[in-house]
Amino acid sequence: MIKIFHRSLIQVELRNRAEAWGTSAFMNSSFGGLAFNNNYPPFFIEREQNGYYYISDTLVAYCNLNDGMVFRIRKDWKEKDYQCYKELSDKATELGTFRVDVPLYREEVVVKEGIWEYVELQSPSKQYGFNYNDDVFTWPELVNGLTPSSSITEDDKVQVKNYFKDFVDQSKLITHQAKLIAEKNNCGIPFDLCQIWIRYKDDNGYFWSDFDQRSWDQSKNEIIIDSLTKLQSAMGFAIVCGMLDEDKAVEIYNYAREQWALI
Protein backbone atom coordinates (compact mmCIF):
# COMPACT_ATOMS: atom_id res chain seq x y z
CA MET A 1 0.00 0.00 0.00
CA ILE A 2 1.38 3.41 -1.01
CA LYS A 3 1.28 5.91 1.85
CA ILE A 4 -0.27 9.31 1.17
CA PHE A 5 3.02 11.15 1.73
CA HIS A 6 4.86 8.81 -0.64
CA ARG A 7 2.11 9.18 -3.23
CA SER A 8 2.36 12.96 -3.04
CA LEU A 9 6.10 12.81 -3.67
CA ILE A 10 5.60 10.54 -6.66
CA GLN A 11 2.99 12.88 -8.10
CA VAL A 12 5.35 15.82 -7.71
CA GLU A 13 8.10 13.96 -9.59
CA LEU A 14 5.73 13.04 -12.43
CA ARG A 15 4.20 16.53 -12.59
CA ASN A 16 7.60 18.23 -12.66
CA ARG A 17 8.68 16.12 -15.63
CA ALA A 18 5.42 16.72 -17.47
CA GLU A 19 5.77 20.48 -17.01
CA ALA A 20 9.46 20.46 -17.96
CA TRP A 21 8.93 18.43 -21.14
CA GLY A 22 9.16 20.61 -24.22
CA THR A 23 11.04 23.44 -22.57
CA SER A 24 14.36 24.37 -24.13
CA ALA A 25 16.20 23.62 -20.89
CA PHE A 26 14.80 20.09 -20.66
CA MET A 27 15.22 19.27 -24.34
CA ASN A 28 18.77 20.57 -24.44
CA SER A 29 19.78 18.64 -21.33
CA SER A 30 18.08 15.46 -22.56
CA PHE A 31 18.94 15.57 -26.26
CA GLY A 32 21.75 18.13 -26.37
CA GLY A 33 24.53 17.28 -28.78
CA LEU A 34 22.37 14.92 -30.83
CA ALA A 35 21.60 15.77 -34.46
CA PHE A 36 17.82 16.18 -34.31
CA ASN A 37 17.69 19.70 -35.79
CA ASN A 38 15.11 20.53 -33.11
CA ASN A 39 12.84 17.73 -34.38
CA TYR A 40 13.12 15.87 -31.13
CA PRO A 41 11.83 12.31 -30.56
CA PRO A 42 8.24 12.12 -29.21
CA PHE A 43 9.39 10.70 -25.86
CA PHE A 44 12.38 10.43 -23.55
CA ILE A 45 13.51 7.61 -21.23
CA GLU A 46 15.22 8.71 -18.01
CA ARG A 47 16.96 5.85 -16.21
CA GLU A 48 16.92 5.68 -12.44
CA GLN A 49 18.47 3.25 -9.96
CA ASN A 50 15.42 1.00 -9.63
CA GLY A 51 13.59 1.74 -12.86
CA TYR A 52 12.93 4.45 -15.39
CA TYR A 53 10.73 7.43 -16.28
CA TYR A 54 8.89 7.58 -19.60
CA ILE A 55 8.29 11.24 -20.51
CA SER A 56 6.20 12.63 -23.38
CA ASP A 57 3.62 15.32 -24.22
CA THR A 58 0.64 13.40 -22.87
CA LEU A 59 2.07 10.67 -20.63
CA VAL A 60 4.65 10.56 -17.86
CA ALA A 61 5.22 7.27 -16.06
CA TYR A 62 7.64 5.74 -13.62
CA CYS A 63 8.18 1.97 -13.93
CA ASN A 64 9.91 0.09 -11.11
CA LEU A 65 11.92 -2.81 -12.52
CA ASN A 66 12.16 -4.52 -9.12
CA ASP A 67 8.52 -4.94 -8.15
CA GLY A 68 6.52 -4.17 -11.29
CA MET A 69 4.91 -1.02 -9.86
CA VAL A 70 3.84 1.65 -12.34
CA PHE A 71 2.92 5.23 -11.45
CA ARG A 72 1.66 7.37 -14.29
CA ILE A 73 -0.17 10.53 -15.22
CA ARG A 74 -1.78 11.02 -18.63
CA LYS A 75 -3.38 14.00 -20.25
CA ASP A 76 -5.88 12.30 -22.56
CA TRP A 77 -8.37 10.12 -20.76
CA LYS A 78 -12.07 9.35 -20.75
CA GLU A 79 -14.47 8.96 -17.87
CA LYS A 80 -15.03 5.21 -18.29
CA ASP A 81 -11.43 4.17 -19.01
CA TYR A 82 -10.39 3.24 -15.48
CA GLN A 83 -13.68 1.56 -14.60
CA CYS A 84 -13.55 -0.60 -17.73
CA TYR A 85 -9.90 -1.47 -17.13
CA LYS A 86 -10.69 -2.46 -13.52
CA GLU A 87 -13.56 -4.65 -14.69
CA LEU A 88 -11.23 -6.36 -17.15
CA SER A 89 -8.69 -6.94 -14.38
CA ASP A 90 -11.42 -8.43 -12.17
CA LYS A 91 -12.53 -10.66 -15.04
CA ALA A 92 -8.93 -11.85 -15.50
CA THR A 93 -8.85 -12.89 -11.84
CA GLU A 94 -12.23 -14.59 -12.13
CA LEU A 95 -11.49 -16.57 -15.30
CA GLY A 96 -7.78 -17.24 -14.89
CA THR A 97 -7.35 -17.44 -18.68
CA PHE A 98 -5.38 -14.19 -19.04
CA ARG A 99 -3.60 -11.71 -16.79
CA VAL A 100 -3.17 -7.94 -16.79
CA ASP A 101 -1.50 -5.30 -14.64
CA VAL A 102 -3.57 -4.84 -11.50
CA PRO A 103 -5.09 -1.35 -11.00
CA LEU A 104 -4.55 -0.16 -7.43
CA TYR A 105 -5.45 3.51 -7.21
CA ARG A 106 -6.71 6.43 -9.29
CA GLU A 107 -7.28 10.14 -8.84
CA GLU A 108 -7.38 13.30 -10.93
CA VAL A 109 -4.50 15.75 -10.58
CA VAL A 110 -3.76 19.22 -11.92
CA VAL A 111 -0.90 19.38 -14.44
CA LYS A 112 -0.16 22.37 -16.67
CA GLU A 113 -3.48 23.89 -15.56
CA GLY A 114 -5.33 20.85 -16.90
CA ILE A 115 -6.85 17.78 -15.26
CA TRP A 116 -4.71 14.69 -15.82
CA GLU A 117 -5.35 11.15 -14.62
CA TYR A 118 -3.01 9.65 -12.01
CA VAL A 119 -3.03 5.85 -11.68
CA GLU A 120 -1.03 3.24 -9.79
CA LEU A 121 -0.75 -0.32 -11.12
CA GLN A 122 1.33 -3.39 -10.43
CA SER A 123 2.16 -6.40 -12.59
CA PRO A 124 0.26 -9.53 -11.49
CA SER A 125 3.28 -11.37 -10.05
CA LYS A 126 5.08 -8.20 -8.94
CA GLN A 127 7.69 -8.73 -11.64
CA TYR A 128 8.36 -6.26 -14.47
CA GLY A 129 8.62 -9.14 -16.94
CA PHE A 130 10.02 -9.57 -20.46
CA ASN A 131 8.29 -8.80 -23.77
CA TYR A 132 8.70 -9.51 -27.49
CA ASN A 133 11.84 -7.40 -27.73
CA ASP A 134 13.52 -9.62 -25.13
CA ASP A 135 12.41 -12.74 -27.02
CA VAL A 136 13.98 -11.35 -30.20
CA PHE A 137 17.34 -11.06 -28.43
CA THR A 138 17.33 -14.83 -27.89
CA TRP A 139 17.38 -15.41 -31.66
CA PRO A 140 20.70 -15.99 -33.49
CA GLU A 141 22.33 -12.70 -34.45
CA LEU A 142 22.39 -11.53 -38.04
CA VAL A 143 25.80 -12.02 -39.64
CA ASN A 144 27.33 -8.56 -40.13
CA GLY A 145 23.91 -7.18 -39.23
CA LEU A 146 22.49 -8.28 -42.60
CA THR A 147 22.47 -12.04 -43.16
CA PRO A 148 20.42 -14.59 -41.14
CA SER A 149 22.53 -17.09 -39.22
CA SER A 150 23.17 -20.46 -40.87
CA SER A 151 22.43 -22.10 -37.51
CA ILE A 152 18.68 -21.43 -37.86
CA THR A 153 16.75 -24.66 -38.47
CA GLU A 154 13.27 -25.47 -39.73
CA ASP A 155 12.32 -26.42 -36.18
CA ASP A 156 13.33 -22.91 -35.06
CA LYS A 157 11.01 -21.40 -37.67
CA VAL A 158 8.11 -23.67 -36.69
CA GLN A 159 8.65 -22.69 -33.07
CA VAL A 160 8.44 -18.99 -33.96
CA LYS A 161 5.32 -19.64 -36.05
CA ASN A 162 3.66 -21.33 -33.07
CA TYR A 163 4.82 -18.47 -30.85
CA PHE A 164 2.85 -16.00 -33.00
CA LYS A 165 -0.19 -18.28 -33.18
CA ASP A 166 -0.22 -18.66 -29.40
CA PHE A 167 -0.19 -14.89 -29.14
CA VAL A 168 -3.18 -14.66 -31.51
CA ASP A 169 -5.13 -17.12 -29.35
CA GLN A 170 -4.27 -15.34 -26.10
CA SER A 171 -5.06 -11.88 -27.47
CA LYS A 172 -8.40 -13.16 -28.75
CA LEU A 173 -9.39 -14.21 -25.22
CA ILE A 174 -8.60 -10.88 -23.56
CA THR A 175 -10.01 -8.75 -26.38
CA HIS A 176 -13.29 -10.70 -26.38
CA GLN A 177 -13.72 -9.97 -22.67
CA ALA A 178 -12.85 -6.31 -23.30
CA LYS A 179 -15.54 -6.20 -25.99
CA LEU A 180 -18.16 -7.54 -23.56
CA ILE A 181 -17.17 -4.94 -20.96
CA ALA A 182 -17.27 -2.20 -23.61
CA GLU A 183 -20.79 -3.23 -24.64
CA LYS A 184 -21.90 -3.21 -21.01
CA ASN A 185 -20.49 0.29 -20.47
CA ASN A 186 -21.56 1.63 -23.87
CA CYS A 187 -18.05 2.53 -24.99
CA GLY A 188 -15.35 1.26 -27.33
CA ILE A 189 -12.38 -1.10 -27.02
CA PRO A 190 -8.82 0.09 -26.29
CA PHE A 191 -6.08 -0.19 -28.90
CA ASP A 192 -3.15 -2.59 -28.48
CA LEU A 193 -4.81 -5.62 -26.85
CA CYS A 194 -3.77 -7.56 -29.97
CA GLN A 195 -0.32 -6.00 -30.07
CA ILE A 196 2.53 -8.38 -29.29
CA TRP A 197 4.81 -5.75 -27.72
CA ILE A 198 2.51 -5.27 -24.72
CA ARG A 199 2.46 -8.98 -23.87
CA TYR A 200 5.00 -9.59 -21.11
CA LYS A 201 6.19 -12.81 -19.48
CA ASP A 202 7.08 -13.51 -15.85
CA ASP A 203 7.62 -16.67 -13.80
CA ASN A 204 3.91 -17.49 -14.02
CA GLY A 205 3.41 -16.98 -17.75
CA TYR A 206 2.21 -14.17 -19.99
CA PHE A 207 0.40 -10.99 -18.95
CA TRP A 208 -0.75 -7.80 -20.69
CA SER A 209 0.68 -4.41 -19.74
CA ASP A 210 0.71 -0.74 -20.90
CA PHE A 211 -2.72 -0.72 -22.58
CA ASP A 212 -4.17 0.95 -19.46
CA GLN A 213 -2.83 4.13 -21.10
CA ARG A 214 -5.32 3.71 -23.95
CA SER A 215 -8.88 5.02 -23.98
CA TRP A 216 -11.82 2.69 -24.49
CA ASP A 217 -13.06 4.33 -27.67
CA GLN A 218 -12.37 2.12 -30.70
CA SER A 219 -14.66 -0.15 -32.71
CA LYS A 220 -13.95 -3.84 -33.19
CA ASN A 221 -13.15 -3.29 -36.88
CA GLU A 222 -10.66 -0.52 -36.08
CA ILE A 223 -8.99 -2.79 -33.53
CA ILE A 224 -8.66 -5.66 -36.00
CA ILE A 225 -7.24 -3.48 -38.81
CA ASP A 226 -4.71 -1.85 -36.49
CA SER A 227 -3.76 -5.18 -34.90
CA LEU A 228 -3.18 -6.93 -38.24
CA THR A 229 -0.93 -4.06 -39.36
CA LYS A 230 1.17 -4.29 -36.20
CA LEU A 231 1.30 -8.09 -36.44
CA GLN A 232 2.71 -7.77 -39.96
CA SER A 233 5.38 -5.41 -38.64
CA ALA A 234 6.43 -7.86 -35.92
CA MET A 235 6.50 -10.78 -38.36
CA GLY A 236 8.42 -8.70 -40.87
CA PHE A 237 11.27 -8.36 -38.41
CA ALA A 238 11.21 -12.11 -37.78
CA ILE A 239 11.49 -12.67 -41.53
CA VAL A 240 14.48 -10.31 -41.76
CA CYS A 241 16.14 -12.26 -38.95
CA GLY A 242 15.52 -15.51 -40.81
CA MET A 243 13.30 -16.89 -38.04
CA LEU A 244 10.15 -16.95 -40.18
CA ASP A 245 9.45 -17.77 -43.84
CA GLU A 246 7.04 -15.76 -45.98
CA ASP A 247 4.63 -18.70 -46.27
CA LYS A 248 4.52 -19.14 -42.50
CA ALA A 249 3.91 -15.40 -42.06
CA VAL A 250 0.97 -15.60 -44.49
CA GLU A 251 -0.38 -18.57 -42.53
CA ILE A 252 -0.16 -16.63 -39.27
CA TYR A 253 -1.75 -13.53 -40.81
CA ASN A 254 -4.71 -15.51 -42.19
CA TYR A 255 -5.10 -17.32 -38.86
CA ALA A 256 -5.11 -14.01 -36.97
CA ARG A 257 -7.66 -12.48 -39.35
CA GLU A 258 -9.97 -15.48 -38.89
CA GLN A 259 -9.62 -15.67 -35.12
CA TRP A 260 -9.85 -11.95 -34.40
CA ALA A 261 -12.97 -11.72 -36.57
CA LEU A 262 -14.61 -13.96 -33.96
CA ILE A 263 -13.89 -11.55 -31.14
List, for residues 105-126, the tens digit of each pLDDT value: 999 999 988 999 999 999 999 9
The proportion of the chain whose per-residue pLDDT surpasses 90, expressed as a percent, equals 83
Q: Which of these three, 64, 89, 122, is where a domain ends?
A: 122
Question: Looking at the structure, do residues 205 and 111 belong to the same domain, yes or no?
Answer: no
87 within some domain: no
d(Cα 245, Cα 247) in Å, to the nearest integer?
5
Question: Looking at the structure, do residues 69 and 159 belong to the same domain, yes or no?
Answer: no
218 within some domain: yes
Q: 38 or 104: whose pLDDT is higher?
A: 104
86 within some domain: no
Question: Looking at the structure, do residues 51 and 114 belong to the same domain, yes or no?
Answer: yes
Confidence (pLDDT) at 1:
59
149 within some domain: yes
Question: Looking at the structure, do residues 116 and 9 belong to the same domain, yes or no?
Answer: yes
Question: Looking at the structure, do residues 183 and 231 belong to the same domain, yes or no?
Answer: yes
Instruction: Output the DSSP codes for the chain.
Output: ---HHHHHHHHHHHHHHHHHTTSHHHHHHHHTTS--TT---SEEEEEETTEEEEEESSEEEEEETTT-EEEEEES---TTHHHHHHHHHHHHHHH-S--BPEEEEEEEEEETTEEEEEEEEE-TTS---B-HHHHHTTSPPPBTTTB--TT--HHHHHHHHHHHHHHHHHHHHHHHHHHHHHHHHT--B-TTTT-GGGEEEETTEEEE-SGGGS-S-B-HHHHHHHHHHHHHHHHHHHHHTTSS-HHHHHHHHHHHHHHHHT-
What is the span of the domain harbouring residue 32? 4-77+101-122
217 within some domain: yes
Confidence (pLDDT) at 25:
85
Question: Looking at the structure, do residues 116 and 156 belong to the same domain, yes or no?
Answer: no
Question: Looking at the structure, do residues 139 and 256 belong to the same domain, yes or no?
Answer: yes
96 within some domain: no
- What contacts 24+ positions apart, CB below 8 Å, involve 199-203? 199/131, 199/132, 199/167, 199/170, 199/171, 200/123, 200/128, 200/129, 200/130, 200/131, 201/129, 201/130, 201/131, 202/123, 202/124, 202/125, 202/127, 202/128, 202/129, 202/130, 203/125, 203/127
CA 36 to chain centre: 26
Question: Looking at the structure, do residues 34 and 151 belong to the same domain, yes or no?
Answer: no
Tell me the mean pLDDT in the region 10-20. 96
Question: Looking at the structure, do residues 70 and 112 belong to the same domain, yes or no?
Answer: yes
Q: Is the pLDDT of residue 226 over 80?
A: yes
12 confidence band (pLDDT: 50, 70, 90): very high
Question: Looking at the structure, do residues 26 and 136 belong to the same domain, yes or no?
Answer: no
Question: Looking at the structure, do residues 42 and 137 belong to the same domain, yes or no?
Answer: no
Confidence (pLDDT) at 219:
96
139 within some domain: yes
The model carries a pTM of 0.91
Total structural domains in the chain?
A: 2
91 within some domain: no
Question: Looking at the structure, do residues 117 and 178 belong to the same domain, yes or no?
Answer: no
In this structure, of 51-55, 108-112, 143-147, 219-223, the range with the lowest mean pLDDT score is 143-147
